[in-house]
Structure 1
Amino acid sequence: MKALIIVDVQNDFMPGGALAVKEGDQIVPIINQVQDKFDFVVATQDWHPADHGSFAANHEGKEIGEFIVLNGVEQILWPIHCVQGSSGAAFHKDLIRDKWKAVFQKGMNPLVDSYSGFFDNNKLGDTGMSKFLKDNGVDEIYICGLTADYCVKFTILDGVLEGFKAHLILDATRAVNINEGDFAKAVIEMENAGAIIGHSSDIE
């Protein structure tokens, strides 16, 4: 069975948000349309405590975009975003949620960031999404949302490693693009890992 995974379509990643993604809001209508093609839909939600170690503001003298070592892993420092219970952490108001079977929250451990919807960046914390999908007979996943070069990419890479046939819905994602070309590099990395790159119109 195939499932749609909607990654982090939250206010802080929208234009005007704390970690704004250019054109991030433009994918919402596409995701809404594509949900009609799936009987099984889940979502992920960035859900950080205010003291999260990935926030530049929590490291004296450090700036957004700098790198540190956080719990043994190289970590880029972000602006404060998607803090638990905040309006920025809420899903976009126009995102249809009627068909969702579950929401998997991530990034709750202040000592490690969590891009993937499956595991944290240290691969120690498991959201339970893989087991949930497999227990429900899902073997093929289609992934959309934000952002292509971070949370979407790592969700796809982990999905492949977990044995799912993984698809990226290219027109239903956007990238942070800290460096120009990050979007294209991420797509190549996902494809090289075994993901299938397609568009919403390709889904039957």
Structure 2
Amino acid sequence: MRPALIVVDMQEDFCPPNGSLAVQGARALAPTINKLLANPSFVVRVATRDYHPSDHISFASNHPPPNNRPFESYVELMNPAPNKQNETKSQRLWPAHCVHGTPGVEMIPEIDSSKIDLYVKKGMNSQVEMYSAFCDVFGNPDSTGGEESVDLDLRSFLTDKKVTDVFVVGVAGDYCVKQTVIDAVRAGFKGYFVEDATRCTDPGEACWAETKKELIAAGVSIVRSDGPEIATLVGS
């Protein structure tokens, strides 16, 4: 077993008190995440960052009224891959967040960044959403083959490190964390969602119940940072 840890989007814009898309309780995750980062069993520790251009299609402010209300309005995305433009998905609109060149894109200082081996930027293509660290919402690993969506082929990186198991933490549990761990399973790794090291955009029980259902259906194991799955890790 060669486990990796992926810390998803622990950035200023996703954390209270000033984040433009703050997730309730996100900043308070830092001690739990730092304890995991310090675990010597992980053979590699990756941190992801949303890294959007200012004209990103998911920003409500980039669309005309009346259908430009953050959290409420939706637009249709077109698959950017060649010969797949007829494939579309409905995209929820968000407040502008994690725009490169702004303070909101930075990792919060509470996270012990000295333990992180690799940073992955995602969401760099203005025309498509990318929740997962592995691919965009259409499943394209790099959205048209350029460096416009993600700046690294994470699957290849983990494979080169002979990683077998991927543990995922951070925010938001019902979007980027969920999709990253599901795509880790799809990429051939064993995936683990660390429940007490994540927070969802919607803190309600109904949201978590639906997220949990999706994770289980995808073959993801839901664990805790103090559970046996992590306590018995063996790195090599």
TM-score (structure 2 length as normaliser): 0.83
1:55 equivalent in structure 2? 59
User: How big is each residue's C-alpha offset from its partner over 1:49-81, in whole Å with a ceiling of 9 and x where there is no partner?
Assistant: 000000000001021121110222210000000
Between 1:160-169 and 1:126-135, the stretch displaced more is 126-135
2:85 equivalent in structure 1? none
Q: 1:51 to 1:179 in 2, by over 3 A?
A: farther
Hey, what's the Cα distance between the residues in 2 that align with 1:35 and 1:178? 25
What is the root-mean-square deviation in Å for CA atoms of aligned residues?
1.3
Q: How many residues get paired?
A: 204
Contact 1:40–1:99 under 8 Å retained in 2: no
Hey, what's the Cα distance between the residues in 1 that align with 2:203 and 2:58? 16
1:201 equivalent in structure 2? 226
Identity across the alignment (%): 39
Hey, what's the Cα distance between the residues in 2 that align with 1:25 and 1:39? 25
Q: Does 1:129 align with 2:154?
A: yes
Deviation at 1:2, TM superposition (A): 0.4
Q: Does 1:114 align with 2:130?
A: yes
Q: Does 1:64 align with 2:70?
A: yes
Hey, what's the Cα distance between the residues in 2 that align with 1:57 and 1:29? 34
What letter matches 1:11 in structure 2?
Answer: E
Q: Does 1:81 align with 2:103?
A: no
Between 1:158-167 and 1:180-189, the stretch displaced more is 180-189
Deviation at 1:99, TM superposition (A): 2.2
Q: 1:80 to 1:180 in 2, by over 3 A?
A: farther
1:46 equivalent in structure 2? 50
Deviation at 1:39, TM superposition (A): 3.4
Deviation at 1:184, TM superposition (A): 2.3
Contact 1:6–1:43 under 8 Å retained in 2: yes
Deviation at 1:42, TM superposition (A): 0.6
Contact 2:24–2:203 under 8 Å retained in 1: no
1:36 equivalent in structure 2? 38
Hey, what's the Cα distance between the residues in 1 that align with 2:110 and 2:204? 29
Q: 1:179 to 1:70 in 2, by over 3 A?
A: farther
Larger radius of gyration: 2
User: How big is each residue's C-alpha offset from its partner over 1:89-140, in whole Å with a ceiling of 9 and x where there is no partner?
Assistant: 1001111111222111100000001000100112224341111001011010
What letter matches 2:160 in structure 1?
Answer: D
Hey, what's the Cα distance between the residues in 2 that align with 1:39 and 1:109? 30
What letter matches 1:69 in structure 2?
Answer: E
Secondary structure at 1:182 match in 2: helix
What letter matches 1:175 in structure 2?
Answer: C
What letter matches 1:75 in structure 2?
Answer: Q
Q: 1:168 to 1:191 in 2, by over 3 A?
A: same
2:84 equivalent in structure 1? none
TM-score (structure 1 length as normaliser): 0.96
Contact 2:23–2:201 under 8 Å retained in 1: yes
Q: 1:173 to 1:184 in 2, by over 3 A?
A: same
User: How big is each residue's C-alpha offset from its partner over 1:142-200, in whole Å with a ceiling of 9 and x where there is no partner?
Assistant: 00000100000100111110010011110000000187621221122112211111100
| Structure 2 unaligned spans of 5+ | 79-87, 143-149, 232-236
Hey, what's the Cα distance between the residues in 2 that align with 1:121 and 1:105? 15
Hey, what's the Cα distance between the residues in 2 that align with 1:23 and 1:184? 18
Hey, what's the Cα distance between the residues in 1 that align with 2:204 and 2:59? 19
